[in-house]
Amino acid sequence: MKLLYAVCHLLSLAPWLVCCVPPIWTQPEQVHLSYPGVPGSMEVTWTTFNSTNSTVEYGLLGARLFDTSVQGMSTLFVDSGDEKRAMYIHRVVLSGLKPASTYVYHCGSDEGWSEVFYFTALNDSLLFSPKFALYGDLGNENPQSLARLQKETQRGMYDVILHIGDFAYDMHEDNGRIGDEFMRQIQAIAAYVPYMTCPGNHEATYNFSNYRNRFSMPGQTEGLWYSWNLGTVHFISVSTEVYFYLEFGLDLLFRQFAWLKQDLEEANRPENRAARPWVVTMGHRPMYCSDDDQDDCTRFDSYVRLGRNDTRPPAPGLEDLFYHYGVDLELWAHEHTYERLWPVYKDKVYNGSTEHPYVNPKAPVHIITGSAGCRERTDRFNPHPKDWSAFRSTDYGYTRMQAVNATHLYLEQVSDDQDGKVIDSIWLLKDKHGPSAWL
Ligand SMILES: [Fe+2]
């Protein structure tokens, strides 16, 4: 038997024996951008499968190509699958960029350079009206909205993309090769605009290691939670998964909650809220939804909304916290549908008025946008939604948002099934922000 194993093992090595040496993988791939949160900065992240230097060469569009060179660092990421595949994740932060200027760049080393890409440095002015595309639940297989998003991003329609959890389905599968291919798929978006993320349940395997290693979000929490500012908006990204994967540490839930409280306190200091009146959150699993499944958001006692009583100590939920600090807009995914809610708190509708529900609403507004496209297809709705459900669609698609100024924020839903048709839109108008706006 032992002999048989030895023969099989030798046969499996046959290609290596013939070629003598394995291939060298120093060519950069999976290039993507993120915003480190400091005005005038941008972070470039990419992958190689052998160790190389980490360099970005860049310059202003129209000027001499690549007149500036910056070094960064790489980290070794070993996927926890059977093959223990190793890859190097390279990170370089560019700083001192001129706001609203377009830069041309490539990344790599003298052992291999990427294609040439470009990006526009984020404008740090409070008068900036940034445009976003946002969605969750985009996979390697059946990524129906991907081509439209690639085209629109390269046409310059967006300043930032928000991916609200659930990537690739799943990044760890096939020993991380699904993650590699997904990161190659989104390169046509994410190499051109910052791709800001939060973790979803599909990232949980091996304690979210593929998510934490492949993305580069600000805040030194490996992207689990963080906040950043753009134009008149203070963005907060959270991990709803801390309410579900207690095996990775209940302390994560409490640490995130304490951080959130501190961050919201800071965002509500009068001078901060005056400069950035909009407070927008994003997290993967919604606290409300009207889908026909047994997910957390279909339950009145949603963990995300109300917390958990089965932990010691009991874990607080997010609804009261967000309400008490006057969060204006809450972006979610996970349900493979689109749903817009009326302003809601404690399961009750708090419209601004009957005629103008989104003008000076008396509670946060929720959008659930998890229908970008993945192998699990779309979900079904419960035929009897609650009063807070304002509009819903099972079309594949994504959401666009523009934070126009201190009082006006626009949202619209694109149906990919209907060739890019806008099937829903609202203007959220607020003369006043913060907890006093609810009175
Ligand atoms: Fe999910």
pLDDT reported for residue 83:
98
For CA atoms 34, 73, 54, 47, give the dihedral sign.
negative
Q: Ligand 1 center to residue 241 CA distance, Å?
A: 9
Q: Which residues contact 272 (CB under 8 A, 6 or more apart)?
A: 234, 266
Q: Ligand 1 center to residue 293 CA distance, Å?
A: 12
- Among 125, 107, 127, CA closest to 116: 107
pLDDT reported for residue 22:
83
pLDDT reported for residue 1:
46
Does the domain at 131-438 match CATH 3.60.21.10? Answer given as yes
Q: Ligand 1 center to residue 134 CA distance, Å?
A: 15
Mean pLDDT by 10 residues, the chain (439 residues): 51 54 93 98 98 98 96 98 98 98 98 98 97 98 98 98 98 98 98 98 98 98 98 98 98 98 98 98 98 96 98 98 98 98 98 98 98 97 97 98 98 98 98 97
Name the H helices within 231-318: 250-267, 270-275, 303-306
CA distance 41 to 97: 6
Sketch the domain layout of the chain as residue ranges.
29-120, 131-438
CA distance 409 to 34: 23
Q: Ligand 1 center to residue 334 CA distance, Å?
A: 4
Per-residue tokens: 345: 């708190």
Per-residue tokens: 300: 């009145």
Q: Ligand 1 center to residue 367 CA distance, Å?
A: 15
CA distance 339 to 351: 16
Q: Ligand 1 center to residue 393 CA distance, Å?
A: 18
Q: Ligand 1 center to residue 240 CA distance, Å?
A: 10
CB 397 within 8 A of CB 373: no
Q: Ligand 1 center to residue 258 CA distance, Å?
A: 24
Q: Ligand 1 center to residue 374 CA distance, Å?
A: 11
Q: Ligand 1 center to residue 86 CA distance, Å?
A: 27
pLDDT reported for residue 80:
98
Exposed, middle or buried, 247 (CB in 10 Å: 0-12/13-18/19+)? Answer: exposed
Q: Ligand 1 center to residue 165 CA distance, Å?
A: 7
User: Per this entry, what is the length of the chain?
Assistant: 439
- Among 228, 218, 223, 169, CA closest to 197: 223
Q: Ligand 1 center to residue 129 CA distance, Å?
A: 30
Q: Which residues contact 163 (CB under 8 A, 6 or more apart)?
A: 134, 135, 136, 138, 195, 196, 197, 198
Name which CATH class applies to 29-120. Answer: mainly beta
